[in-house]
Structure 1
Amino acid sequence: MPEIDRMAGMECYCTDFAGTGGSIKQKSEGFRVSELVDDSLLAGISPAFGGAHRYPLYVLEKEGVDSNHALMEIERVHRLRLRVMGIKDAKAATTQYAGASHAWKDPPKRLETQHTLLSLKGFTKKPIGRESLAGNEFEITIHGAGSSIGGFAREAGKIANFYGLQRFGSERMVTHLAGREIVKRNFAGAVRLLLCYTTEYDSESSREIRKKCEDPANYRRALKEMPRGMDIERQLLAALADGKEPVAALRAIPITIRRLFVQAYQSFLFNRCLSLAIAQGHDVTSPEEGDLCFEMEGPFTFGRVMKFSASGKQMVPAVRMAGYTFQPGKGRFETITKGLLEQEGVAARDFYIKEMQELSQQGGFRQAPLWCRDLAFSQNPLRVSFKLPKGSYATTLLRELIKPEDPIAAGF
């Protein structure tokens, strides 16, 4: 088991498949992602502004930048502030929807930046929200795959719905660590981690800059030397160099990115919960007596959460996420999460962060199994296509398929 997987709380595999080996994301076009949206969104689009149809909706195509940074780039270049329904990875060619939160009669029909292309789709009756996103469709090339995939399809239904390494910063693996310190009210510690934390994947120059950031006397010098790509660190350093306290410095980071810190810590606890459940011999893909479950309402529509019952409807095990509304019941996942919080020295109420209320996290539910549909393969080179509901990670399935010895070198 790669150590970096353990650092993200993924402490086991779910399949006995030996793994194909190989790598992904050698080129963006080899990792294609397209959003699947609720039919009502597309049916409700008008080609022209008028009446209730007042909010422009764009198709956003991007490469080489994640969705948050794509939006920042668009705003910087075109002074156009947009929102998206889901966050897409930088190392992919992605197609998603982006909309304005205000009425706009004559928006530009086509816009470009270095990494993005925007094409006006039409106008909606209200700004887009995450509720309209159903899932994502993937088409991925695996380079250098060395073994047959014949047995994998039979085991694909066993996979737990782990959060992938991207949730935690990939090779840096710092996002959830900063989130933990924020939940524990150690804001200075969160700042220090974001600036100074290094891993084996850091370059020598990165290590030198982060070493300088350990001493406040070096802040202005480090800011001058820090590459533009380290934008979060630059925002923090600029605030600290101006004499701001840790909370104010953290608020220099855009809120869409800042919220990921505490969310990543929740994700770490979720991954550890599933790992421990599997280690204890539980089948996390099938409901058991005492479980909370989603009642399925469609291929990717997870309905209300209710206690498991043999009602005849399809039910999917649900994990109650850590958050300020977390109340442990007697279910297996809740029992494990309660124990994890005790180990971490964190109480549910700590996720309500009065010093930074915008980062507070209520909790909620997430499905325990990876709900994969339409899995298909082609060979020479190996290509895999499939659909996942929103919030699930393609790399979680690919991790089980490839079984990489070094996930970062393999493109994860």
Structure 2
Amino acid sequence: MIEAPEFDRAIGMELYATSSPGCGGRLRMRSEDFVVEEIYEDQSYRGGRYLIVEVEKVDWEAHHLVRELSRQLRISQRRFSWAGTKDKKAVTRQRMSIANLDEEEISRITLPGVEVGVLGRSNRPVALGDLRGNRFSVRIGEIDLEEVEVASRLNDVTKEIRALGGLPNYFGVQRFGEVRPVTHLVGEALVRGDPERAALTYLALPFPGEPETTRMARSRLLEGRDFTRALQEYPLRLRYERAMISRLSEDGDWAHSFDVLATNLKRLFVHAYQSLLFNRILSERMRLGLPLDRAVEGDVVCFSKGGLPNPDKLQAVDETNLAAVNRLADRGRAFVTLPLFGHRSEFAEGVPGETERSVLGEEGVALSDFRVETNPDLGSPGNRRPALLRVDPAVELEEGSALLKFDLPAGSYATVVLREYMKTGEAGRS
């Protein structure tokens, strides 16, 4: 089993699942090299208060786009809903719903790299549960190998993925922040009961990938806690940070300064810390040689709903049902799960449970800490997530590049697939 590079290990992706050498190369040399399209069940929109649109965007992050759309349409951001956050440096197609908006109003939208098409109207908004998955078409460029060698390596990785039945269902770097991977650090500080450190990590921890003026402004806030000066120095594009700083300048309430953020954004912090721990548990399970595609005694499994894993339906595995569960697993109807720790979580039993307790114990936190007593709106009850990502990539070779096409269920990450083919750490940093 191959150890991953330092960048991956820092977010818990400690191992590669495949042992074949990678092809190297680079991602996202152009936006059109990374295309993502949402997958939905066939739906007909026959009327209702929600206007359903499909948005094709180039190099837009969803929250930023919604903010700009709300300004052009002169409506509240709260009237928008969508099913999932997509990569920023990419061409992405996703659905959104807008409450109480006439179709004619769409013509007012004039944003660069954005096209909006109307699909119809519905009685309910677009929600995460509507999304079945995402379809990816990703080009790896600048591969410095002979084409025969590239073909051999990519083919070997594909064979290994098929033999494994998929890949470890790691959370990719996007979960933690690509330019400033601090989201999980903020969540950790909240779980540990230190909202001041959490807020300052989000607002003021500088990172090399940012402009120097931004890094200097962050550093000065971190050292001096001068909110008035920070509002003068922070660039207008850092709207979320500026909103929090403004709130802090009024009342100095570290824990509730996060309340100025949208609900789905402020909950990302603890979710990212959960994701880090999930990745570590998954890596440890692999290191112990426990299977991802089949259960062992002590595991907790979920079952399929509509062909996809349904973590809301869980069952503990023991000697009495192990064989039956694995018959379902072999047919893609049962899935081993690992915890996203929360204040309502329960540990598995046996070796899987020992692994879960060990990772949490090494962190020095308790399940109850995920309640976040200083601001319960930031906490999480917990959940479970499949350990295995079922994926079957198709590869097309071109001179100096490779095009990978694959579908993933909602909530899984393309970079988790790409890192196995590249084995450079580049998939995480792109």
* Superposition TM-score, scaled by structure 1 size: 0.90
Structure 2 unaligned blocks of 5 or more: none
Q: In the alignment, does 2:301 pair up with 1:293?
A: yes
Amino acid at match of 2:353: E
Look up the match of 1:260: 268
Range with bigger deviation, 147-156 or 309-318: 309-318
Residue 161 of structure 2: which of 156, 159, 177 is its match?
156
Contact (CA 8 Å) 1:319, 1:334: kept in 2 or not?
no
Q: Could you tell me which residue of structure 2 aligns to residue 350 of structure 1?
A: 369
Q: CA deviation at 1:113?
A: 2.5
- Which residue of the other structure, out of 194, 211, 214, is the alignment partner of 2:219? 211
Q: Is the CA contact 2:7–2:425 (under 8 Å) kept in the aligned structure 1? A: no
In structure 1, C-alpha distance between the alignment counterparts of 2:281 and 2:60, rounded to whole Å: 31
Counterpart-to-counterpart distance in 2, 1:331 and 1:57: 47
Identical-pair percentage: 29
2:412 equivalent among 385, 388, 392 = 392
Question: Where does residue 68 of structure 2 map in the other structure?
Answer: 73
Q: Does 1:383 align with 2:403?
A: yes
**Out of 375, 385, 392, which is 1:366 matched to?**
385
Give the residue type in structure 1 aligned to 2:116. Answer: L
Q: 1:105 to 1:8 in 2, by over 3 A?
A: same
The amino acid across from 2:16 in the alignment is Y
5 Å-filtered alignment, 1:140-179, equals 140-145=138-143, 146=145, 147-148=150-151, 149-157=154-162, 158=164, 159-179=167-187
Q: Per the alignment, in what secondary structure is the counterpart of residue 138 of structure 1?
A: strand
SS of 1:156's equivalent in the other structure is helix
Q: Spell out, residue by residue over 1:129-180, the C-alpha distance to the aligned partner (whole angstroms, 9 max, x if none).
A: 2111111000011111233311111122442000001100124210000001
The answer (yes or no) to whether the contact 1:108–1:120 under 8 Å persists in 2 is no
Q: 1:282 to 1:247 in 2, by over 3 A?
A: same
User: Structure 2 counterpart of 1:123, which letter?
Assistant: R
* Long gaps (5+) in structure 1: none
Who is 1:108 aligned against? 105
Q: Does 1:20 align with 2:23?
A: yes
**Measured at CA, do residues 117 and 357 of structure 1 come closer, stay the same or move farther in structure 2, by a change above 3 Å?**
farther
Contact preservation (8 Å) 1:171, 1:408: no
1:32-81 per-position Cα deviation (integer Å, ceiling 9, x unaligned):
11111133xx1x312xx4xxx33211111122122122212211222343
Deviation at 1:28, TM superposition (A): 1.4
CA RMSD of aligned residues (A): 2.2
Aligned to 1:5: 8
Residue of structure 2 in register with 1:227 after alignment: 235
Query: Which amino acid is 1:152 matched to?
Result: V
Deviations 1:260-285 (A, max 9, x none): 10100010010010011112222223
Partner deviation per Cα, 1:358-398 (whole Å, 9 max, x = no partner): 2221111111011214x211111310000000000000000
Query: Is the CA contact (8 Å cut-off) linking 2:54 and 2:117 kept in structure 1?
Result: yes
CA distance in 1 between counterparts of 2:210 and 2:125 reads 40
**8 Å Cα contact 1:99-1:128 kept in structure 2:** yes
SS in structure 2 at match of 1:400:
helix
Q: Is the contact made by 1:2 and 1:406 (CA closer than 8 Å) also made in structure 2?
A: no
The answer (yes or no) to whether the contact 2:171–2:412 under 8 Å persists in 1 is yes
What is the letter of the counterpart of residue 228 of structure 1?
L
Q: Relative to structure 2, which stretch is displaced further, 238-247 or 81-90?
A: 238-247
SS of structure 1 residue aligned to 2:417: helix
Show the counterpart of 2:316: 307
8 Å CA contact 1:31, 1:138 repeated in 2: yes
Question: Aligned match of 2:422 in 398, 402, 407?
Answer: 402
Higher helix share: 2
